[in-house]
Amino acid sequence: MIKYNMSMFTQEEKKQVISLYNRLKDLREVIKETSYTKEELLSILLVGGISNQELIKYIDIPFINEEQIILISDTHLGSKYSNLEYLHQVYEYAVSHNIKTIIHLGDLFQSTIKNVEPQFIEPDKQLSIALSFFNTYPDITTYLLFGNHDLHLLKKDEAFNQELLKLSNIKILGFKKSYITWKNTIISLHHPISKYNLSIPYLKENILLFGHRHQLYIKDNKIFLPTLSDDLKIYNGDKGKPGFLIFSFTSKEIKIENFELFTKQKKLIYLNN
């Protein structure tokens, strides 16, 4: 994940990098001519208006080529509102439908931020739940974007991140914002964390997905995911319902459905021809 704040570069530095790229037209050649890292150069070029279609081949973001993937968010393991059965239902659905990739948009853990079950007040207990669960489904790859609760936990012990990475079926995307490419469709993943001043260069994404809200909500081209816990938020009088999103791709269209756990029903929420 690229995570550079543009204020760290002067206007003159930005102009020089953009001019050099426009002359050489190859990021690898620009790297040879400057002292900047690839990530720093990409940050400057993307913010400087260079087409992401030119630069996408240089960006290390996951490329997923499966016909279907699942998106989940806000499990809050260790919370009194956590419901591990919901998580099992998602992964069992994936197994039965031969879906091999699940993306988690943040707050896998509760950490010690209020509403923690007494038996999980120690952070390593929450980590144990996750490790045991993911080991139960070794054939499913889970991509994790960390949310504000996750960061609170990781700050207590950075070794937790390394413990997760020891699992071959876990891929860490970073925190707050990241990207994936699915079937050549760029998808941005967000878990808002206001206290972190993190500037991530803009890619021309096709779909924007957000965790953190705990309720399915669609506004403009933004899709906010439902929670996978019993911490159901209320907005404008509407109470959220636990569920997950199913992304399907055919030669003709991209389809996104919401699977509501209470009713076991799918509802089409997005269709792009």
Please state the domain extents for the chain: 6-58, 63-272
User: How many DSSP H helices and E strands does the chain contain?
Assistant: 8, 15
What whole-number distance in Å separates Cα of residue 25 and Cα of residue 13?
18
Residues with Cβ within 8 Å of residue 80, at least 6 apart in sequence: 115, 116, 117
> Looking at the DSSP assignment, which residues form a beta bridge with residue 221?
none
CATH number of 63-272: 3.60.21.10
Per the DSSP assignment, residues forming a β-bridge with 218 are: 223
Cβ–Cβ < 8 Å for 95, 58 = no
Contact 130, 144 (CB under 8 A): no
SS3 192: coil
Contact residues for 143 (Cβ-Cβ < 8 A; gap 6+): 62, 101, 102, 103, 104, 171, 172, 173, 180
Q: Contact at 8 Å (CB) between 73 and 228?
A: yes
What pTM, to 2 d.p., does this model score?
0.82
Angle formed at CA 64 by CA 134 and CA 259, multiple of 5 degrees? 60
pLDDT, one tens digit for every residue, the chain (273 residues): 344 455 678 899 989 999 999 999 898 899 999 988 887 888 788 778 787 667 767 767 889 999 999 999 999 999 999 999 999 999 999 999 999 999 999 999 999 888 999 999 988 899 999 999 999 999 999 999 999 999 888 877 777 888 898 999 999 988 888 889 898 788 999 998 776 655 555 667 889 999 999 999 998 889 999 999 999 999 988 999 999 999 999 877 899 999 999 999 999 999 887
